[in-house]
Amino acid sequence: MADNKTVIIKIKRQANPDSKAYWEEFELPQTPGRNVTSALMEIAVNPVTRDGKKTTPITYDANCLEEVCGSCAMLVNGKARMACSALLEKLDHPVKLEPFSKFPVVRDLAVDRSVLFEDLKRVKAWVPIDGTYDLGPGPRVTMQEQEVAYPLSRCISCCCCMEACPQFNESTDFVGAAAISQVRLFNTHPTGKALKRERLAALMGDGGIQECGYAQNCVEICPKDIPLTRSISEVGREVMKQAIGDLFRR
Q: Determine the Cα–Cα distance for residues 117 and 120; give it in Å rounded to an integer.
A: 5
Q: Determine the Cα–Cα distance for residues 29 and 56; give it in Å rounded to an integer.
A: 19
> Could you tell me how many residues of this chain bind other proteins (CB under 8 A)?
62
Residue 117 one-letter amino acid: F
C-alpha of 74 from chain center = 9
| Closer Cβ to other proteins, 4 or 16, answer by number | 16
Point out which span in 7-15, 44-52, 143-151, 226-234 binds other proteins (CB under 8 A). Answer: 226-234
Measured N-to-C along each axis, helices 228-249 and 177-188 cross at an angle, to the nearest 10 degrees, of 70
245 binds other proteins (CB under 8 A): no
144 binds other proteins (CB under 8 A): no
Quote the least distance from Cβ 54 to other proteins, whole Å: 23
- Applying CB under 8 A, among 89, 145, 220, 246 the residue interacting with other proteins is 220
Q: How far is CA 156 from CA 117, 133, 139, 151, in A?
A: 12, 32, 26, 11
Instruction: Please report the beta strands in 14-160, taking only residues with DSSP state E, as ranges in sequence order.
Output: 22-29, 73-76, 79-82, 95-98, 105-107, 110-111
203 binds other proteins (CB under 8 A): yes
End-to-end alpha carbon distance in the chain? 72
Quote the least distance from Cβ 41 to other proteins, whole Å: 25
Q: Give residues 47-106 in contact with other proteins (rule: CB under 8 A).
A: 78-79, 102-104, 106
Q: Can you tell me whether residue 61 is helix, strand or coil?
A: coil
Beta bridge partners of 96: 10
21 binds other proteins (CB under 8 A): no
Quote the least distance from Cβ 6 to other proteins, whole Å: 27
Q: For binding to other proteins (CB under 8 A), which residues are involved?
A: 16-18, 78-79, 102-104, 106, 112, 114-115, 118-119, 122-123, 162, 164, 166-175, 179, 201-217, 220-221, 227, 229-230, 232-241, 243
